[in-house]
A and B are shown apart, each in its own frame.
Chain A
Amino acid sequence: MIPILSFSEFIELILKVLIFPGLAFPLLFAMIVIWFERKFLARIMLRIGPLHVGPLNRTGLFQPIADFLKLIQKEIIVPDNAYKFLYNIAPIMASIVASMSVAFIPYAPKPDGGYWMIYYTPLSLLVILAIFTARPFIMVGAGWASNSKYCTIGALRAALQLLAYEVPITLSLASIVIMSGTFDLAKIVETQSSIWFIILQPIGFIVILIAMMAELSRRPFDIPLAEQEVVFGWPTEYTGTQFALVMVSEYFDLCAVTSLITVLFLGGWSGPVIPLLNDISPILSGVFWFFLKMAILTVIIIMGRGIYPRLRIDQLLDTGWTLLIPLAIIQIIITLLTAQWWLPLVRGA
């Protein structure tokens, strides 16, 4: 049976799906982060970065839009030997899958009891985990379908990289689930109302941050995209709009990952109520804190590109298996051993 929505519910749904956290939000996030990344890294490297495009003088604020407009004008070249169906569908799949996970993340509580999220499910953590596992297979598929040597090597590297980060991520999520006793992201945030999990599980936070940087293929771990070694890895052959989709999907993924870590470790929307925003809508205050935490995480993740050289694939596997997995297991053991201490803090009396 299809539930009949009231008018206000309908407006809310449209807002959620089209504006926040739906369609417009990841796009805007991608645009701002691409601009910020270029400007921020330029400052680290003693450069100036984009300057001329956009409303504010000498900021280059609209550079990502200009780049996108340039890319969509370009001809889409499909290599002759490519497996055309998979080749064409992979960038679309990549951006869809990457932006899908924001639908399950609670961004703020509503005054009437629910949460500001597109689709509520008590097993949202599990759903997001499932969505995250899909991305490497799109990479492998696209790399294989391109039928080019560099793409194939990049795809194989992406597949190998999966082995390094998937297990640490799952293990550190396990200790979160042990602590909060639920798969529901909204409930996980509620349990952090007195103390954030980053304080209770610092090791788990570091493990998941590093593993997520590998999942996102950010700088110390951008092995599948390593420019100096495999030209551009699995998306080497993509041009025009398809390339734009591949690029933007990476930032959708960044959006989903930072949102997830904020929810899991940084207490989601929790923070002191800001009167000015609260007057407009009680949701905005929560969203403000959520964005602030996301921004901090984004800066940390982006900074890797300015200060680290790229690891080799065997070194990444080494890090993943001999460092991250043991650390994640230690975190689980610590969590179990100190249950007496944290239980009253997290679950209440």
Chain B
Amino acid sequence: MSVMKLSMGPQHPITGHFRFILDVDGDLVLKLEPDIGYTHRGIEKLAEKRTYLQNLPVIERVNSYCDSAGTMLGYLEAIEELMGLEVPERAKYLRVIAAELNRIASHLYAACLFSVATGLETMLMWPINDRELVLDLLEKLTGQRITYTYQTIGGVRFDMPEGFKEEALKRLDYLEKRTEDYYKMLLWNHTFHMRTKKVGILKPSDAIKLGVVGPNLRASGVKVDVRKDEPYEVYDKFDFSIPTGKNGDSYDRLEVRFKEVEQSINILRQALKDIPKGPIKKWAPPIVPKGEAYTRVEAARGEFGYYIVADGTMKPYRLKMSPPSFRNLIALPHLCKNVPLGDIPVIYISLDLIPMDVDR
């Protein structure tokens, strides 16, 4: 049979708002070409026309349904660096709590999509149900389920509500117990191993060369985490480890995410215990002094970089984002050479890309 051009998406059960142009020979995919841009909203340009404070809800929507709290931290860090603003300690803790809760939600979402890619619908529902618990917590903390606009320049908008700490600790205990079930359903499931082990192997050298970031890079065995390497906010005060994988296959990428959930629970427990009393917000002037700043944070999907050029007005002169999904997308054509068609969804979902993040 001759080589067939197969257009997978954007109307396809697994690809989301992507289109992949595949060269298919029988059941073998020779080449994959991602076609991005279906959710391009021009956020970088939009940001130039709005003030720094008005930008907050926009920036958040780069990565809205998964990881808005983690995404936003970088932007705030950059502005605060330009202003030379010292954020109150309690606000830093609250920011970390929101970001880590969001990381758990994001990784649970990744796990559910992953099991859909292999055809296991039960594990679509279980993590989604448990993600709801985390989102409830975030709603208690911030007033919203997915796009919070909680962290703001100079601190956070609301303080922790009454009884939040007890509720959070209770739910974290439950989540930790629940992880056992996930391991039983996915990570110890022989059929699941058949589908995911030795599929889409990303070697450490290739991963570094391609510029892959976040859990995908760590799954290849490279121990890189901005939270440890360049601690921002109060991450240097917590005791946590960086889980890494051995083989860099799809299975490892999922396992690393599950282990990161455990580490996030660990961080959250420490943060809830140590959180100091004090103000939650410091007044920040609307005008950012002239200069430029680059900051990077560890969002759920990996390293999120922000480059801001300020010209001494209320609006940024230029805002450049380097989102993790875009950087991980580069690995996808590399991994999808001469693989069976059945492995395409597994490899794609294992990288945990989201189209909004790629297109911005």
Our verdict on whether A and B bind, yes or no, reads yes
* B126 proximity list for chain A (CB < 8 A): 45-46
The interface size of chain B toward A, counting residues with CB under 8 Å, comes to 32
Cβ distance B162 to chain A, nearest Cβ, rounded Å: 30
- Give the number of residue pairs across the A-B interface with Cβ within 8 Å: 84
Asked if B32 is at the interface of the complex by the 8 Å CB criterion, the answer is no
Cβ distance B355 to chain A, nearest Cβ, rounded Å: 16
- 1/0 contact string of A44-88 vs chain B (CB within 8 Å): 111100000000000000000000000000000000000000000
* A315 proximity list for chain B (CB < 8 A): 194-195
Q: Known contacts A153-B341, A308-B191, A309-B192; is A228 also within 8 Å of B116 by CB?
A: yes
Contact A309 B342 (CB under 8 A): no
* Closest chain A residue, CB of each to CB of B130: A46
- 1/0 contact string of A315-346 vs chain B (CB within 8 Å): 10000000000000000000000000000000
24 pairs of residues in contact across A and B, judged by CB atoms under 8 Å: A45-B122, A45-B124, A46-B125, A46-B126, A46-B129, A150-B6, A153-B341, A156-B27, A220-B191, A222-B119, A223-B342, A228-B118, A228-B345, A229-B14, A306-B121, A307-B120, A309-B120, A310-B118, A310-B342, A311-B191, A311-B194, A312-B195, A312-B342, A313-B27
Cβ distance A292 to chain B, nearest Cβ, rounded Å: 27
Cβ distance A204 to chain B, nearest Cβ, rounded Å: 23
Chain B residues engaging chain A, CB cutoff 8 angstroms: 4, 6, 12-14, 24, 26-27, 115-122, 124-126, 129, 185, 189, 191-192, 194-195, 340-345
* B340 proximity list for chain A (CB < 8 A): 312-314
* Closest chain A residue, CB of each to CB of B195: A309
| Interface size range on A against B | 20 to 34
Asked if A12 is at the interface of the complex by the 8 Å CB criterion, the answer is no
The answer for the CA separation of A141 and B29 in the assembled complex, in Å, is 24
The answer for the CA separation of A310 and B341 in the assembled complex, in Å, is 13
* A313 proximity list for chain B (CB < 8 A): 27, 340, 342
The answer for the CA separation of A160 and B57 in the assembled complex, in Å, is 51
The answer for the CA separation of A306 and B195 in the assembled complex, in Å, is 16
The answer for the CA separation of A226 and B6 in the assembled complex, in Å, is 16
Cβ distance A142 to chain B, nearest Cβ, rounded Å: 19
Contact A305 B27 (CB under 8 A): no
Cβ distance A157 to chain B, nearest Cβ, rounded Å: 7
* Closest chain A residue, CB of each to CB of B341: A229
* A228 proximity list for chain B (CB < 8 A): 13-14, 116-119, 345
* A309 proximity list for chain B (CB < 8 A): 115, 118-120, 189, 191-192, 195
Cβ distance B275 to chain A, nearest Cβ, rounded Å: 33
* Closest chain A residue, CB of each to CB of B12: A231
* B125 proximity list for chain A (CB < 8 A): 45-47
* Closest chain B residue, CB of each to CB of A157: B27
* A157 proximity list for chain B (CB < 8 A): 27
* B119 proximity list for chain A (CB < 8 A): 219, 222, 226-228, 308-310
Contact A308 B27 (CB under 8 A): no
Contact A149 B129 (CB under 8 A): no
Cβ distance B353 to chain A, nearest Cβ, rounded Å: 15
Cβ distance A319 to chain B, nearest Cβ, rounded Å: 9
Which residues from 130 to 153 on chain A have a C-beta closer than 8 Å to any C-beta of chain B?
149-150, 153
Asked if A206 is at the interface of the complex by the 8 Å CB criterion, the answer is no
